[in-house]
Protein backbone atom coordinates (compact mmCIF):
# COMPACT_ATOMS: atom_id res chain seq x y z
CA UNK A 1 0.00 0.00 0.00
CA UNK A 2 2.85 2.38 0.81
CA UNK A 3 4.39 1.60 -2.58
CA UNK A 4 1.14 2.38 -4.38
CA UNK A 5 0.70 5.59 -2.43
CA UNK A 6 4.13 6.80 -3.54
CA UNK A 7 3.60 5.75 -7.15
CA UNK A 8 0.11 7.22 -7.46
CA UNK A 9 0.64 10.29 -5.23
CA UNK A 10 -2.01 9.15 -2.79
CA UNK A 11 -2.44 9.61 0.95
CA UNK A 12 -2.40 6.77 3.44
CA UNK A 13 -5.24 8.44 5.30
CA UNK A 14 -7.72 8.16 2.41
CA UNK A 15 -7.02 6.65 -1.00
CA UNK A 16 -8.14 4.36 -3.81
CA UNK A 17 -5.96 1.47 -2.59
CA UNK A 18 -7.16 -1.63 -0.76
CA UNK A 19 -6.39 -0.11 2.64
CA UNK A 20 -6.45 3.35 4.16
CA UNK A 21 -6.74 4.78 7.66
CA UNK A 22 -10.31 5.98 7.14
CA UNK A 23 -11.59 2.47 6.43
CA UNK A 24 -9.40 0.88 9.10
CA UNK A 25 -10.85 3.33 11.63
CA UNK A 26 -14.28 1.77 11.13
CA UNK A 27 -13.12 -1.34 12.97
CA UNK A 28 -13.40 -1.42 16.74
CA UNK A 29 -9.85 -2.71 17.08
CA UNK A 30 -7.40 -2.80 14.18
CA UNK A 31 -3.66 -3.32 13.97
CA UNK A 32 -2.21 -2.99 10.48
CA UNK A 33 1.27 -3.79 9.20
CA UNK A 34 2.35 -1.39 6.46
CA UNK A 35 5.20 -2.78 4.36
CA UNK A 36 7.80 -0.65 2.63
CA UNK A 37 8.51 -2.84 -0.40
CA UNK A 38 11.55 -2.76 -2.68
CA UNK A 39 11.66 -5.09 -5.68
CA UNK A 40 14.62 -7.32 -6.47
CA UNK A 41 17.54 -6.03 -8.47
CA UNK A 42 17.46 -2.37 -7.51
CA UNK A 43 20.82 -0.67 -6.91
CA UNK A 44 21.11 -0.43 -3.11
CA UNK A 45 21.04 3.38 -3.09
CA UNK A 46 17.87 3.40 -5.16
CA UNK A 47 16.32 0.82 -2.83
CA UNK A 48 17.20 3.02 0.15
CA UNK A 49 15.71 6.06 -1.60
CA UNK A 50 12.49 4.13 -2.25
CA UNK A 51 12.32 3.14 1.40
CA UNK A 52 12.75 6.78 2.42
CA UNK A 53 9.92 7.86 0.12
CA UNK A 54 7.57 5.26 1.59
CA UNK A 55 8.70 6.00 5.13
CA UNK A 56 7.92 9.69 4.63
CA UNK A 57 4.30 8.86 3.84
CA UNK A 58 4.09 6.57 6.85
CA UNK A 59 5.80 9.04 9.19
CA UNK A 60 3.49 11.94 8.42
CA UNK A 61 0.22 9.98 8.44
CA UNK A 62 -2.38 10.72 11.11
CA UNK A 63 -3.33 7.17 12.12
CA UNK A 64 -5.96 8.32 14.62
CA UNK A 65 -7.08 5.21 16.55
CA UNK A 66 -5.49 2.67 14.18
CA UNK A 67 -2.59 0.70 15.62
CA UNK A 68 0.17 0.53 13.01
CA UNK A 69 3.44 -1.32 12.47
CA UNK A 70 6.10 -0.50 9.86
CA UNK A 71 7.87 -3.35 8.10
CA UNK A 72 10.41 -3.68 5.32
CA UNK A 73 9.96 -6.26 2.57
CA UNK A 74 13.36 -7.03 1.02
CA UNK A 75 16.41 -6.11 3.09
CA UNK A 76 18.70 -5.67 0.09
CA UNK A 77 18.77 -1.95 0.87
CA UNK A 78 21.18 -2.84 3.72
CA UNK A 79 23.82 -3.42 1.05
CA UNK A 80 25.98 -5.51 3.38
CA UNK A 81 26.16 -2.65 5.90
CA UNK A 82 24.95 -3.64 9.36
CA UNK A 83 24.80 0.02 10.41
CA UNK A 84 21.91 0.59 8.00
CA UNK A 85 19.92 -1.75 10.22
CA UNK A 86 20.31 0.78 13.00
CA UNK A 87 18.87 3.41 10.64
CA UNK A 88 15.81 1.24 10.02
CA UNK A 89 15.46 0.83 13.75
CA UNK A 90 15.52 4.61 14.18
CA UNK A 91 12.73 4.79 11.59
CA UNK A 92 10.61 2.53 13.84
CA UNK A 93 10.81 -0.52 11.57
CA UNK A 94 9.59 -3.43 13.69
CA UNK A 95 9.49 -6.25 11.12
CA UNK A 96 12.16 -7.10 8.54
CA UNK A 97 11.44 -9.31 5.53
CA UNK A 98 14.93 -10.57 4.71
CA UNK A 99 14.40 -11.18 0.99
CA UNK A 100 11.86 -10.91 -1.73
CA UNK A 101 11.82 -13.79 -4.22
CA UNK A 102 15.38 -13.55 -5.55
CA UNK A 103 18.89 -13.49 -4.14
CA UNK A 104 20.18 -10.48 -2.23
CA UNK A 105 22.90 -9.58 0.27
CA UNK A 106 21.05 -11.50 2.98
CA UNK A 107 20.48 -14.81 1.21
CA UNK A 108 18.01 -16.54 -1.07
CA UNK A 109 14.33 -15.92 -1.65
CA UNK A 110 11.60 -18.32 -2.73
CA UNK A 111 12.78 -18.46 -6.37
CA UNK A 112 16.22 -19.72 -5.31
CA UNK A 113 17.83 -22.68 -3.56
CA UNK A 114 20.22 -20.45 -1.62
CA UNK A 115 20.65 -20.25 2.15
CA UNK A 116 21.58 -17.30 4.35
CA UNK A 117 24.88 -15.61 3.60
CA UNK A 118 27.28 -14.69 6.45
CA UNK A 119 25.94 -11.13 6.40
CA UNK A 120 22.39 -12.47 6.58
CA UNK A 121 23.22 -14.44 9.70
CA UNK A 122 24.64 -11.33 11.34
CA UNK A 123 21.47 -9.43 10.40
CA UNK A 124 19.29 -12.02 12.15
CA UNK A 125 21.36 -11.72 15.33
CA UNK A 126 21.40 -7.91 15.22
CA UNK A 127 17.65 -7.73 14.61
CA UNK A 128 17.09 -9.71 17.78
CA UNK A 129 19.25 -7.25 19.72
CA UNK A 130 17.30 -4.30 18.32
CA UNK A 131 13.88 -5.84 18.82
CA UNK A 132 13.12 -6.16 15.11
CA UNK A 133 11.13 -9.29 14.29
CA UNK A 134 12.30 -11.46 11.38
CA UNK A 135 9.76 -12.08 8.61
CA UNK A 136 10.41 -15.40 6.80
CA UNK A 137 7.58 -15.22 4.26
CA UNK A 138 9.66 -14.84 1.10
CA UNK A 139 12.65 -17.00 2.07
CA UNK A 140 13.85 -20.11 0.28
CA UNK A 141 13.56 -23.31 2.30
CA UNK A 142 17.31 -23.26 2.90
CA UNK A 143 17.29 -19.68 4.16
CA UNK A 144 14.26 -20.41 6.32
CA UNK A 145 15.98 -23.23 8.18
CA UNK A 146 19.15 -21.19 8.50
CA UNK A 147 17.07 -18.55 10.29
CA UNK A 148 15.44 -21.17 12.53
CA UNK A 149 18.85 -22.51 13.56
CA UNK A 150 20.04 -19.01 14.53
CA UNK A 151 16.93 -17.37 15.97
CA UNK A 152 16.42 -17.28 19.72
CA UNK A 153 13.21 -15.24 19.49
CA UNK A 154 9.95 -15.97 17.63
CA UNK A 155 9.89 -15.33 13.88
CA UNK A 156 6.83 -14.59 11.77
CA UNK A 157 5.61 -15.29 8.26
CA UNK A 158 3.56 -12.19 7.55
CA UNK A 159 1.84 -13.49 4.42
CA UNK A 160 2.21 -17.22 3.70
CA UNK A 161 -0.13 -20.20 3.53
CA UNK A 162 0.09 -23.98 3.84
CA UNK A 163 2.05 -25.78 1.11
CA UNK A 164 0.20 -29.00 1.95
CA UNK A 165 -3.05 -27.32 0.87
CA UNK A 166 -1.63 -25.31 -2.06
CA UNK A 167 1.69 -26.57 -3.39
CA UNK A 168 3.35 -23.23 -4.11
CA UNK A 169 6.97 -22.41 -3.23
CA UNK A 170 5.82 -19.24 -1.45
CA UNK A 171 3.81 -21.32 1.00
CA UNK A 172 5.25 -23.10 4.04
CA UNK A 173 5.48 -26.87 4.41
CA UNK A 174 4.19 -28.58 7.55
CA UNK A 175 7.59 -28.78 9.23
CA UNK A 176 8.20 -25.06 8.69
CA UNK A 177 4.81 -24.17 10.14
CA UNK A 178 5.45 -26.38 13.16
CA UNK A 179 8.82 -24.70 13.75
CA UNK A 180 7.17 -21.26 13.76
CA UNK A 181 4.37 -22.36 16.06
CA UNK A 182 6.75 -24.10 18.48
CA UNK A 183 8.75 -20.92 19.00
CA UNK A 184 5.66 -18.79 19.56
CA UNK A 185 5.71 -17.15 16.15
CA UNK A 186 2.91 -16.05 13.86
CA UNK A 187 1.67 -16.87 10.35
CA UNK A 188 -0.52 -14.48 8.37
CA UNK A 189 -3.05 -16.08 5.99
CA UNK A 190 -2.36 -14.72 2.50
CA UNK A 191 -5.41 -13.98 0.34
CA UNK A 192 -3.48 -14.06 -2.96
CA UNK A 193 -5.17 -16.34 -5.49
CA UNK A 194 -1.93 -18.10 -6.36
CA UNK A 195 -1.18 -19.04 -2.76
CA UNK A 196 -4.71 -19.92 -1.70
CA UNK A 197 -5.47 -22.20 -4.63
CA UNK A 198 -8.09 -22.03 -7.34
CA UNK A 199 -10.89 -23.77 -5.47
CA UNK A 200 -14.19 -22.87 -3.85
CA UNK A 201 -14.32 -19.79 -1.65
CA UNK A 202 -14.30 -19.72 1.35
CA UNK A 203 -13.51 -23.42 1.60
CA UNK A 204 -10.05 -22.95 0.14
CA UNK A 205 -9.04 -20.43 2.82
CA UNK A 206 -10.67 -22.43 5.60
CA UNK A 207 -8.56 -25.45 4.64
CA UNK A 208 -5.35 -23.43 5.12
CA UNK A 209 -6.56 -22.27 8.53
CA UNK A 210 -7.64 -25.76 9.57
CA UNK A 211 -4.29 -27.20 8.52
CA UNK A 212 -2.44 -24.68 10.66
CA UNK A 213 -4.68 -25.37 13.65
CA UNK A 214 -4.01 -29.09 13.21
CA UNK A 215 -0.27 -28.37 13.37
CA UNK A 216 -0.54 -26.42 16.62
CA UNK A 217 -1.20 -22.92 15.32
CA UNK A 218 -4.52 -22.19 17.00
CA UNK A 219 -3.11 -19.13 18.78
CA UNK A 220 -0.60 -18.25 16.07
CA UNK A 221 -2.72 -17.35 13.03
CA UNK A 222 -3.19 -13.81 11.75
CA UNK A 223 -4.35 -12.18 8.52
CA UNK A 224 -1.62 -11.46 6.00
CA UNK A 225 -3.91 -10.30 3.23
CA UNK A 226 -1.24 -8.99 0.84
CA UNK A 227 -3.66 -6.21 -0.13
CA UNK A 228 -2.26 -3.94 -2.86
CA UNK A 229 0.43 -6.52 -3.56
CA UNK A 230 -1.48 -9.17 -5.51
CA UNK A 231 -4.80 -10.30 -6.95
CA UNK A 232 -6.79 -11.53 -3.97
CA UNK A 233 -9.51 -14.18 -3.91
CA UNK A 234 -12.92 -13.34 -5.25
CA UNK A 235 -15.05 -11.67 -2.61
CA UNK A 236 -12.22 -10.06 -0.65
CA UNK A 237 -10.86 -7.09 -2.57
CA UNK A 238 -10.25 -4.51 0.16
CA UNK A 239 -10.27 -3.96 3.90
CA UNK A 240 -13.99 -3.15 3.62
CA UNK A 241 -14.68 -6.83 2.85
CA UNK A 242 -13.06 -8.10 6.05
CA UNK A 243 -16.31 -7.86 8.04
CA UNK A 244 -17.88 -10.43 5.71
CA UNK A 245 -14.71 -12.52 5.94
CA UNK A 246 -14.93 -12.49 9.74
CA UNK A 247 -18.54 -13.67 9.61
CA UNK A 248 -17.56 -16.53 7.30
CA UNK A 249 -14.79 -17.64 9.69
CA UNK A 250 -17.07 -17.33 12.72
CA UNK A 251 -19.65 -19.62 11.14
CA UNK A 252 -17.09 -22.32 10.39
Q: What percentage of the chain has pLDDT greater than the value 90?
A: 89
Alpha-carbon distance of 222 to 236, in angstroms, equals 16
Does the pLDDT value for residue 124 go beyond 90?
Answer: yes
Contact 234, 203 (CB under 8 A): no
- Mean pLDDT of the 162-178 span: 97
User: Per-residue confidence at 199, pLDDT binned at 50, 70, 90?
Assistant: confident
**Main-chain dihedrals φ then ψ at residue 77, nearest 5 degrees:** -65, -15
* Most confidently predicted of 25-29, 63-67, 160-164: 160-164
Contact 123, 106 (CB under 8 A): yes
Q: Return the biggest CA–CA distance within the chain.
A: 49
3-state helix, strand, coil in the chain (%, to 5): 40, 15, 45
pLDDT tens-digit profile of 126-162? 999 999 999 999 999 999 999 999 999 999 999 999 9
For residue 252, the model assigns a pLDDT of: 76
Q: Where are the beta strands (DSSP E) in the chain?
A: 31-37, 67-73, 93-97, 133-135, 156-157, 186-189, 221-223
pTM, two decimals, is: 0.95
Q: How far is CA 241 from the centre of its chain?
A: 20
Alpha-carbon distance of 99 to 111, in angstroms, equals 10
Amino acid sequence: TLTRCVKDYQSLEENECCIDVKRLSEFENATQVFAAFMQDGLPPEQALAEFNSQYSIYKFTDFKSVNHILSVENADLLDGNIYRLQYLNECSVKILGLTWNGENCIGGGADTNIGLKPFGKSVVKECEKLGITIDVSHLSDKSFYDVIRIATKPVIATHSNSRAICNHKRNLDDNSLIEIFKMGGLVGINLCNDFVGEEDFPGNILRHIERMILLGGENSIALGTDFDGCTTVEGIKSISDMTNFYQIIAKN
